[in-house]
Amino acid sequence: MLFNSYTFVFGFLPAVMLVFYALAVRVPRRVAMLWLVAASLFYYGWSRPENLLLIGALLVANYGAGTFLGRNGGTRLGRLVLAAGIAANLGVLGYFKYTNFLVDTVNTLTGGAWPAANIILPLGLSFFTFQKIAYLVDAYRGKTRGYNFIDYCLFVTFFPQLIAGPIVHHSEVIPQFSDRKDYRPNAEDFSVGLTQFICGLFKKVVIADRMALYATPIFDAAAAGAAPSFLDGWIAALAYSFQLYFDFSGYSDMALGLGRLFGIRLPLNFNSPYKAANITEFWRRWHMTLSRFLRDYLYIPLGGNRRGPVRRYSNLMLTMLLGGLWHGAGWNFVIWGGLHGLYLVLHHAWRTIRGGSESEKPPPGFVGLIGRRALTFLAVLLAWIFFRAANMGAAKQMLASMFGLAGLDLRCSFDLGNTLPALGAVALVVWLLPNTQEWLGRFRPALDYEEPAAASGGVAVPTWMARFSWRPAWPWALAVGGFALFTLTQLSRVSEFIYWQF
């Protein structure tokens, strides 16, 4: 059941909210929590009910292991249980996500003909696997607080973040679930949450899906063996960069908005990453909760930057390679992760050569800032080719066309009179307008929201933009309502979110 569907908007969401708040004011808190768990499981099993068996078994097993680790952390038996729990979670993820990838790789290397298995990846498995691993590690370290089973189930299954994040930490949401005041209707939560949801829906339906019309035909043609023209290649690359940006930004806004409708603030997961002035800053703004997990539960345990520059760069590269593989079972995703690992290594090495961190140096001027953002965006765009391409052959075909290796073909499959203004308008939104969090800033739209100046790398939101920040008033209600009505008329072209496939 997609967030951008009539079934969800007019059926599931209103029904869940009405029952939840009716229960919240009449019965003990646990009953309302249990309703949210049941509704979230119903949501998860909507398309494939058999997946409920898997998530149910994982919930019981991981809660039991976490409870044991909370009482036996630091012991030899505790270490064995932790290792077994992590291995079991990764084993389930590996079976569903990587079995056919391994079969294809073995067939390619050996010339074999092993048949592919008929395996369908359960939605959200990559996301809630990381949540459960983090919970087990923290239980072993004594950082969990003896949560009961309903707390744990809601932490894992809460439907706004179940399918594609953010990857929430138990310490962020379980205390909110346990706070009685958050279970009563609140006008501010409702207005902020609904505005966030509508903003996200608009980004997905009106912007991201429109950009897909330029990107998809060219990437599909490259996958079929055709050579796109020079112009088609760059238009498709730009369009896909914007499509993915607004698709994920839209989902993130909708997830935060849905959480807020129930009085829950979820962590920020997307913060204008194309405004980043270097690749490190990009990963602090893009899929922020994934970056946090990879840092805290992979990069730092590997040694982080504590064992010299060679070990640091090796840890960075390994972390990003595994992060790429997490995104998809294919060598193109491994190369995408490897490119970002290389970018990070080069950036940290350059920073070391120059001496000190960026925060210790004066901020760049306007021209310098634009140059850094442009260079970072170009590096990210080129890596997106591997992320989007159906296979390595398609990626090579796209890059060859974009760099004129097959000749400088200036033909274009699109009407440039419509295409260039559309791309230009989207670019202006990306780089000139405040993001949703900045627009709603005074109402703390996310759990870990920072002030606009801090969130934008020290560049304050201009005064004229601050004057147009959102507030609960009739003019904004009418404007947001107009956006909502227009967006709802476009839902006949329902499309999945890109990150659902991970």
Q: How far is CA 479 from CA 205, 337, 473, 486, in A?
A: 17, 40, 10, 11
Find the catalytic residue in 169, 170, 287, 327.
327
Q: How far is CA 315 from CA 86, 267, 279, 319, 502, in A?
A: 20, 26, 16, 6, 23
| Res. 455: pLDDT tops 60 | no
Contact 216/498 with Cβ under 8 angstroms?
A: no
Q: What is the pLDDT of residue 120?
A: 85
- Per-residue pLDDT of 393-412, as tens digits, reads 999 999 999 998 877 878 88
Partners of residue 393 on adjacent β-strands = none
pLDDT confidence tier of residue 458, bands split at 50, 70 and 90: very low
Q: What is the pLDDT of residue 114?
A: 82
| Res. 22: pLDDT tops 70 | yes
Q: What is the pLDDT of residue 361?
A: 60
Query: Higher confidence at residue 380 or residue 494?
Result: 380
- Tell me how far apart the alpha carbons of residues 325 and 336 are, in angstroms, rounded to a whole number: 9
Hey, is 404 helix, strand or coil?
A: coil
Own/partner contacts of 414-420, CB < 8 Å, gap of 24 or more, are 414/214, 414/232, 414/235, 419/214, 419/235
Q: How far is CA 40 from CA 13, 44, 183, 308, in A?
A: 11, 6, 17, 46
Q: Which residues of 390-413 are buried (b: 16+ CB within 10 A; e: fewer)?
A: eeeebbebbbbbbeeeeeeeeebe
Contact 341/319 with Cβ under 8 angstroms?
A: yes
- Per-residue pLDDT of 309-331, as tens digits, reads 888 999 999 999 999 999 988 89
327 noted as active-site residue: yes
Q: What is the pLDDT of residue 465?
A: 61
Q: What is the pLDDT of residue 215?
A: 95
Percent of the chain with pLDDT over 90: 58
* Closest listed residue to residue 152, CA positions, set 255, 68, 64, 261: 64
Contact 126/294 with Cβ under 8 angstroms?
A: no
Q: Map 350-369 to HEC letters.
A: HHHHHCCCHHHCCCCCHHHH
Mean pLDDT lowest for which of 151-165, 250-264, 299-313? 299-313
Query: Higher confidence at residue 13 or residue 145?
Result: 13
Q: How far is CA 262 from CA 122, 128, 266, 291, 455, in A?
A: 26, 20, 11, 26, 25
Cis? peptide before 166, omega within 30° of 0: yes
- Per-residue pLDDT of 404-439, as tens digits, reads 887 787 888 888 999 999 999 999 999 999 899 988
Provide φ and ψ at 176, rounded to 5°. Answer: -70, -40
Mean pLDDT lowest for which of 252-266, 451-465, 484-498? 451-465
| Res. 358: pLDDT tops 60 | no
pTM assigned to the model: 0.91
Percent of the chain with pLDDT over 70: 93
pLDDT confidence tier of residue 182, bands split at 50, 70 and 90: low
pLDDT confidence tier of residue 472, bands split at 50, 70 and 90: confident
Per-residue pLDDT averaged across 464-476, rounded? 76
Partners of residue 286 on adjacent β-strands = 270
Q: How far is CA 34 from CA 30, 177, 353, in A?
A: 6, 11, 55
Q: What is the pLDDT of residue 454?
A: 41
Per-domain residue ranges for the chain? 6-182, 278-363
| Res. 2: pLDDT tops 60 | yes
- Per-residue pLDDT of 84-112, as tens digits, reads 999 999 999 999 999 988 888 888 888 87
- Per-residue pLDDT of 118-161, as tens digits, reads 888 888 888 989 999 999 999 999 888 778 899 999 999 999 99
Using only the alpha carbons of the chain, give its radius of gyration.
Answer: 23
Segment holding 429, helix H or strand E: helix 416-432
